Every structure is written in structure tokens, then in C-alpha cells.
Structure 1
């Protein structure tokens, strides 16, 4: 199978310490790093002024802003912000999702050193999630807030926590300031303020998911974001070979969409077309419509999104041709891409284009802006996160089973959490490495250049009553693959029990399509046919020779989706396993009871 030749081979150095700790780093130096994101904007506005930087759907086409137009509007907005007395200590809360005005405001604030705080739009639009919005407001104390539509966000804007804060809205009402007013500018000297902005300037406060504690605000600096983009383009030469283009829905309140993807376009003179669809029922059709208008040179998505996309491409030969025509990379994140989906894209790429683009993933965190490792040479298997990027050192602490706890250093690492010195101190070890809490293992122990595979969160592991350790994160991935597409997600159970169980969040669309007759009882589905299919697949998994640490013996299918207001789901769409188990303690008890009609056992 012919694979892309436009890649940078891995080149890493491994250092073995006497205590068993391993240091892993790139053998190549980091290329020159810009001081600020404003430097990128100026550079491309001069080199390619008419090229589109950012666009969103407008009627039958797109509202687009060129690099020259973006710079002009960014400077005008920055002037208006300065004229209001804003600066490094007056954050702007951004409550809406992705949009051109959101992007312009964020860049204008960065341009003159004003932090922005993008939060998940669900926190504003879902009544039960207002507590998380209030927590963010009380933590960062913003001077200004932005929403795209004052009427749509009116309930959230009525919160007491937002009293006396100026609210900017693209579609304003009598209580809010029109976004257009910011474009009028002010007499403030933008260049003087910009000259004070440098690599150490904090320009984003990104909220963590809060899966293990109350959400913290990660202080993200210009230097972190600028270094990370150079690290990525050092590893992926096609980013510099031609301006990249993406059609992307990933939310900007998350570091993947808002720092990784957004800045990748800005740093490399690329074009970001905002996809107002999502990989969920009722919205994915909009994604297909958007792709019918324009496709990217890069494609970013989560595994469920790629599964839906593969199905759409199989049905439409014209879309399939356009999709692969200029494609350099398929990049998945959030979870491991199922191998059948991976192979489906490989086969389709060869049939359509004659070669396979780079199919890859990386690893990083909100605290690292985000990428620390990247698989930047071709591989045949999903789940590999690669090797440290230039300038990054990974500290690997073996646990005795070829598995390592991962700690990291690098120029893209945060200085700390906002106004949380104790949490910051706890986050670093005595050598200054950030304690990620993640585990990995080498793809090939004797060849570090083959990269590493993510192996779960250390804190998610548990012991059975027998004393057997269960690596819950990897087991979850394996069982999800076995139950695909019936399960959308699941929680692995069994701490202090004699057997491993799973609590399954079903894929409602798939169950409906398959015609399962579902009967709900106290939070779980009673459906002999569905439970029988789950039993068959778990038995097939067990028949592959799994041990007691990977044999799932019990399963229950939950009838209620994960609740964001109750903290079961984070803004990133990830399950908070502790919250699920605590909130559904009665269902966990039923899972281990005898003869429950909603439980299947092996």
C-alpha cells in the first residue's frame, strides 16, 4: 500500500537513569519561534493579504475574512478594548461557540495582552450547567463577556455573577453592546500596548475539565502557543510546503480546537472554515453540506466523527473525490480510532487518490498548549501517539509492567494555574517536570523511534478483590471496539469486586436503526435481544484468551444519557467516571446483584 512520502522521520534520544527512569527527547533542535500570535498575523497580512484566514457559513455560502481584513479589524477591536481601560488583569469571558467574531475578538485581545476565557457554550445554554459557568466567572472575574446572540443567551446573561460586566453581542439587544461598536476603534495607542506583549504574556485562561476536582484555569502564554506551532511544523513539513486548510467544528473552549487547530492555520498562513455541524444526529448533515462546498488539506475529528464521515463518503463518489484530492493528513484525538475505521480510510484513499495520507494522532494536555508527542511518520495501527516533539523531554517512570507514568518539560508547558499556587506546586515534581497522571508504553521496547501508546490514567486503575490490577482506560477502549456501534461510551467497574463489569451508554441512533424494542426500568434497559447481543460480543472478547484483569463478566445498558449539569460529562464530551459511579450507585449495585433482568453475565 502506497503511503505519503511527505513526512519527517522520528529521531529520538533515550537516556536510561540508574533508578530505572527513562528520559526521552527529540534529537533535533527547535526552530525559531515567533514572539506572539500577532507576529503571525502581520506576516501573512503582508505576504498573502487576500488569502482567506477565517470563514463561517452565511446563507448559501461563506462570510470570509482575509488576512488583511483580519489584521485591520483586530487592530480596531484592540483599540476599543484599550479605550475601555482593559489590560492583562481584565479578562474577557467568551460564552459562545466558534464564530468569526469570536475569533476576531480573541485575536484582538491577544494582540494587546488581554486574557480571554472561552468556556463551553453548554454552560450558558443548559440551565443545569450554570453552576459551572458561575464557577468560571467567580474564578477569573472578567471585565467583559461576549455572546453571539443576546436573546439566545439571555438566561445565562441574567446571572448575578455577570452584573456590572459589559456584554458584547454580535446580535445585541437593549442591554448589550453591539459587536460592531468594537470595530469603530478608539483613540488608544494599539502599537504601544502591543509592544508590551511578549512570550511570557498570559493571553488565555483555559478551564480544565474538572474530572478530578473543581475546574482550574490554565494560564496559557504567547510563548506556549507559538512554540507549539513551531514544534508541529518542524514535525510535519507539509504545513510549511503550502498553506493548510481545514473545515473544522472542534470547540475553541478546548485546547485542541482553540489552540492547536486555530493557531495551526494562523501560524502557517492557512484558512479555517468553521463547520457549524457536529458528529451527532441532526447536525452531521450540516457537516456534509459544508464539505460539499469546500474540503481541507487536513482533517481533524474524534473517532465517532470519522466513523460518520466514512459512511458519508461511501455514499457520495463526488464528495469522496473532493475530500481526498488535496488531503495531507487525517488526525484523530479524544480516543483511539477503531482499526476498522482506520483501514476503511486507507482503502478509500488508495482507491481515490492512489496513496494514503498521514493518519495520525498526538498526545498532550490543556497545560501543554497542547501537543507534547506526535506520531509524525506513517504507521499501520491506531492508538500510537508517537515521540516527543522538538524541545520536549518526557520523563518515563516504569511501573514494573512495561508501563510508564509520563511527566514532561518543554517550552509549551504552562507557568501554572491561575491564582492557585498550591495546585500549581502539586502539579510539578522536584525537577520541574509536569506530573500528567497519564501512562504509556513503548510500541517496541527496544526501539523508542517507533513511538509510544497511550495506556490510560494512573488514577483510573483499580484492583479486584483478588488483588489483580485492572487497567481501566485500555480495557474501556477494547470493549468499546467490541461493542461498536451499539455503545457510545462506557464505564469500567469492579473496584473491590470479584469481577469486572461495564455500565454502557448506548448509541441511541444505532439501537433505533436496528429496531431494538427497549423497555426502561429504573435507569436501565430491559431488552433480551440487546442484552443477548452484548453478551455475545463480550463472550467473543473473552474467548480471545483474556486474563482476569481484562475479562468483562457483567454488563448493564443505561437508559439515561450522561448528564452535563450533574457533572457526569465534561464540556469536552468526556465521561467523568467518578461522577457516573457516584450518581448511579443504585445501578452499580444492580450490576453486581444476582438475577437482575437488566444485567447480562458471562
Structure 2
């Protein structure tokens, strides 16, 4: 099988298993965790000395050129900014908050805060730009009590700042008239760069350690308001060495990333930025997004810069495949030095995976390895990775070096818990939530279940087996595995379904609320460009297609827990204010069921509305 792939330097991880009398298992990686730098700042200083002229980070300027910052330039700028920050009386109780998205300046001020031991918190731009009540942003500011706020352009963030920031000082690249009648003192970012480092700067740098808090990263709030996860320098640095323990090729050649993933999420902000910084690579910031309108930006960037590693969410790969088929000249550049692809956040449909393999073979003669794994914000993030041989949607692999995974019987499942130096010490100013997150042996409770690919061959690794907290029982006592069922529906209805919410707790049968992929749904309805979403979803041919697939899928079911008896298509967007969706399009199942109670009631009504598709109708 490996002969089908381009050869890269990866390590085959092996596990050892301790079985306990109570049915628990402890799964450990046999390979030890190698030595790691104490802080990210150590690595910035290392590469500024070892490769001073290598590009560290770059973004598109207004004239379309790449604004590149080398490692030596980055360190000099970080020291200047850090010196200015020292004068602002910041601390762990008055941290730096960044409201705007990825940028050269965002990364520099974040590293500058870390340089002097001040935590920084990257906040989802949706909390400021999409939210209408600023409820989550209020929660963030009340919890953190920040001492300084950074934004790129003050104008778009003015309403949010007025709502939550009081008279806090601000740093902005530009104001775009957003400083009119503003109570907050504003400093232009350029002034920070003019600050001359002092002995105090060096003393503050010398005082940071692996235990220093680097970041507060907010979870998506799947069970309420977002929690502030404490991320230490040790967690971030050790996690990169864990990743390198499997992806050994990252140490052989400096990685080049073209990446859009937001830094307020652990995938983009810890995993991807860390891969670049720890290994002396280059990060080209992609201001595109995996949407039809914004993906042209991504494509333009990929035409310029050929990545060595490409990381994305499944919706991003779907658009990538579509556009690379249309633009073979960009596909040729994209695959020219690509060594590995990786996805996270959701399952990747097999037809997209196959299409990516076909493109790679067309342009390089072989497949490019793709892997996935398992982790969380609280694990900094990577805990498990799949091998190239076993990688498939739903496979999470084996523990990385230095990671212990406890498997605890939970019904007919194995709940996964993690212990490692990369696990957070807890949630900021939330002792009760912190106490609930760990078991009596100090293992962090992921809330995920896993199962062996083959119990007789544990080195093959594990599959994801759903969220323990999402599973429920029908009134017959039959358990419904929500994660597995969602994945099956998305695969069976591909490409017309973006996500699914499963209903049926204490009912006789399972139903589904479908979040449709509107772009693909429009291909089923001629001349549908001007149709509203409700009109589109009620179009006869579209409904006939979904009805047919619903009936066909039922024939593959193995019982009541895997059979969808009723289905309804969502005709309005999910709400970030209500906690139904994150800005990375992750769906909060429980929030949707709670907020859309009328849809659930319709699904289980004796006389459902015409919007409900009924099995066998």
C-alpha cells in the first residue's frame, strides 16, 4: 500500500497496553518523548540565529505582494513590542486580548506578550463581527479582565469595543474613522515598533519558563459559555516534539504552510503556527476561507506558494478539489513539493479523499499521504495520530510519544482520557469546571469514545466512536451512537449534506435535522440561483432526491439505532449567538435541539408538516 504514496520520513508508532481488573486499559506509546525547548520564544531565538534570513511569516499587502518577515526581523520586532508592553502594566490578571484575525502584526504582538510572560487571548472574530448581542464577548472580557486590546482595523470592531471594552487602551494598525468619539486611548501599532529594548526587557524574558501561561484559548462553548483553557509554554513546545515523533520529516526540511485556519482555534493557533515556528518553517497567511466567495483568495495564494504541508477542514478540501480540477496549472504548483495533507474538525467524505488522490496521481504519479488524529484545545492539541497505512475518515490512530490514554468502559463504548505534559492545568478562574475535567488519576476526560481497528493488532490504532455526552437511548432502551450515525448520513447523502443533528432521546425512533450543502443542493434544481433557501429546499426534485436516499439508507440499517425514520432540512442558518455553531462551522448538537424544539416537535408529531420527510412515503 505504501508503494502507492510518495515516500516521506515518518515513524511507525507502537503501543503497549496495561489491562486492569476493572476493565480499564492504559495505552502508551512505546517511543519516549524526546527533549523539547522550554518555550516558543526559545525556538524563535534559535531560528533567528540559525536561519536569520529565512521567511518566518508573510501576508498579502494591499498591492498584492507578500509582506515577508524573516526570523531575525521577527525577533527584533518582538523585542521592541515587548518593551512597549512592559510599560502597560499587563499581567496574567490583565492579559492582552486580540479581537482581529490572523496577520503578521497579530503574531508579532502575541509573541511579544509571551516574551515577557504576559498571556494573550485570541478571540473569535465572530464574537465581534457576527454576533449581535456580544454575549460571548462580554463573558470573555468579564472572565479575563484584560489590560490591553489589539485590533487590526478599529472601524469594523467599533460596536463590539463600545459594548464591552469600557475605557481599555487599544492598539490598532488603522482606525478607519473608528476612533471618532471613542473613550478608549488608541496607540498605532507602528509606535510599538519604535521602542528601544532595555535591560528590563531582557530580565522579563529571562523570567519566563515552561510553566508560564502563554495563552488563554476559548473553547467553542458546546455546554454553555466558552471556557478559557490555560495553555502553557511547556504544553505548546512539548506537543510539537510529540508531533515530530511521528512526522519526522518536519525536522528534515523547514515546512512551508499556506494556511487560513483561525488562531483562536487550537488547530490553527497551536498546531499549525507551532509546526512552523518549532521547525524553522515559513507561514504564508491565507486570508481566504473555505467558502465559494472567499476561496479564490486561497487559490491565488496557492498559485504563488507551493506548500510542503497542507492542513484544512473537510469543507476546505471539498472546494480545493473542485477548483484544482478547474485550474490544472495551480494544481501542478500545489502538488509540486507537497509531502503531507492533514484534516481535522470533522470527517472527510470518501469521495473527496478519492478525488484528492486522483489529482495527486495525475500531477505527481503517486498519492500524497493524508493523516488525521485526535486532540483537543485542552491537549495543546495533538494526542493521537493515525499512520499513513491506516489513515481514513474516522481513524484517530495511536497515542503520540509521551501520551498515556486511559480507556474506561462506558456502556458498550470505551471512553478516552489523556494524561501528558501537554494537558492543560485547567480552566482560568473556573475551579469547579477544572475539577470536573479530570479523573482521580489526573487524566483529562476528552468526552470522546474510541474503539480498536483490530483488538488483536493494537498497533493499527483506534477509530473515533462518537462523543460520549451526545449519545442517547431510545425509549426501547437502545443506545444511539450519534457520532457514527452522523458520519454515515453525511457519507450516504454526499454531497448534499453539510452536517446533521440527531434527535430521538426517549422517543421510539431516530430522526434527523439536516444542515444542507446549499451549493450542491442547487445543482438538483435548474435555475435555482435566485430562489430563497426555503424555496430551494421545497423544490420537488430536491425533495424526491432526499426521499430516495432516505429510503435507500434505511435498507443498510442494522436496527432502530441506525435507521432514520424522519428527516427535516434546515432552511435558516444556525446561530452563533445561541451557541448552535462555531465560526469553524462545528455544530453544537445539544444547543440546536434545545433552540429548535419546534422542529423536533414537528419530527415526532402524529401529523408532521409537509416539510418533514417520512421513511417509506
Give the alignment's TM-score, normalised by structure 1: 0.96
- 1:171-194 deviation per Cα after TM superposition (whole angstroms, max 9, x unaligned): 136452101111122564211001
Aligned-partner Cα distance in 2 for 1:14–1:39: 35
Q: Deviation of residue 15 (structure 1)?
A: 1.3
Matched, 1:37 2:40: yes
Matched, 1:512 2:522: yes
Matched, 1:152 2:162: no
Matched, 1:598 2:602: no
**Which residues in structure 2 correspond to 1:126-145 (within 5 Å)?**
126-145=130-149
Check conservation: 2:372, 2:385, Cα contact below 8 A.
Answer: yes
SS of the residue 1:19 aligns to: coil
Match of residue 539 from structure 2 = 527
- 1:121-142 deviation per Cα after TM superposition (whole angstroms, max 9, x unaligned): 0111124151111110000000
Aligned-partner Cα distance in 2 for 1:381–1:155: 44
Q: 2:561 aligns with which of 549, 552, 562?
A: 549
SS of the residue 1:405 aligns to: strand
Q: 1:365 aligns with which of 348, 351, 376?
A: 376
Check conservation: 1:128, 1:566, Cα contact below 8 A.
Answer: no
Check conservation: 1:439, 1:457, Cα contact below 8 A.
Answer: yes
Q: Deviation of residue 463 (structure 1)?
A: 1.0
- 1:404-433 deviation per Cα after TM superposition (whole angstroms, max 9, x unaligned): 101110010001110111111111111111
**Which residues in structure 2 correspond to 1:243-392 (within 5 Å)?**
243-379=254-390, 381-392=392-403
Q: Note the residue ranges of structure 1 that are not aligned, 5 or more in a row.
A: none
Q: 1:48 aligns with which of 25, 47, 51?
A: 51
Check conservation: 1:395, 1:433, Cα contact below 8 A.
Answer: yes
SS of the residue 2:155 aligns to: coil
Check conservation: 1:524, 1:560, Cα contact below 8 A.
Answer: no
SS of the residue 1:145 aligns to: strand
Matched, 1:89 2:93: yes
Match of residue 483 from structure 2 = 473
Matched, 1:414 2:424: yes
Match of residue 242 from structure 1 = 253
Aligned-partner Cα distance in 2 for 1:519–1:54: 42
Match of residue 60 from structure 2 = 57
Query: How many residue pairs are counted as aligned between the two chains?
Result: 599
Q: Deviation of residue 34 (structure 1)?
A: 0.3
Query: Which shows bigger deviation, 138-147 or 570-579?
Result: 570-579
Specify whether residues 23 and 129 from structure 1 end up closer, same or farther in structure 2 by C-alpha distance, changes over 3 A only.
farther
Matched, 1:453 2:448: no
Aligned-partner Cα distance in 2 for 1:280–1:372: 29
Match of residue 494 from structure 2 = 484
Matched, 1:103 2:107: yes
Aligned-partner Cα distance in 1 for 2:486–2:193: 49
SS of the residue 1:200 aligns to: coil
**Which residues in structure 2 correspond to 1:415-454 (within 5 Å)?**
415-454=425-464
- 1:543-601 deviation per Cα after TM superposition (whole angstroms, max 9, x unaligned): 22432110111111111011112221123321111221122111111122225211111
Check conservation: 2:448, 2:466, Cα contact below 8 A.
Answer: yes
Q: 1:9 aligns with which of 12, 30, 33?
A: 12
Matched, 1:227 2:234: no
Q: Deviation of residue 530 (structure 1)?
A: 1.9
Check conservation: 1:526, 1:597, Cα contact below 8 A.
Answer: no
Aligned-partner Cα distance in 2 for 1:507–1:2: 32
Q: 1:584 aligns with which of 596, 601, 604?
A: 596
Aligned-partner Cα distance in 2 for 1:419–1:529: 53
Q: Deviation of residue 60 (structure 1)?
A: 2.1
- 1:472-519 deviation per Cα after TM superposition (whole angstroms, max 9, x unaligned): 111111101112221221211111111111111112222233326667
Check conservation: 1:519, 1:526, Cα contact below 8 A.
Answer: no
- 1:439-493 deviation per Cα after TM superposition (whole angstroms, max 9, x unaligned): 1111111111111111111110011121111001111111011122212212111
Match of residue 207 from structure 2 = 196
Matched, 1:571 2:575: no
Matched, 1:495 2:495: no
Check conservation: 1:359, 1:378, Cα contact below 8 A.
Answer: no
Matched, 1:69 2:73: yes
Aligned-partner Cα distance in 1 for 2:334–2:165: 44
Aligned-partner Cα distance in 1 for 2:543–2:123: 38
Aligned-partner Cα distance in 2 for 1:567–1:399: 27
Aligned-partner Cα distance in 2 for 1:21–1:491: 31
Give the alignment's TM-score, normalised by structure 2: 0.94
Aligned-partner Cα distance in 1 for 2:339–2:347: 20
SS of the residue 1:165 aligns to: coil
Check conservation: 2:292, 2:319, Cα contact below 8 A.
Answer: no
Aligned-partner Cα distance in 1 for 2:6–2:461: 19
| RMSD of aligned residue pairs (Cα, Å) | 1.7
Check conservation: 1:466, 1:498, Cα contact below 8 A.
Answer: yes
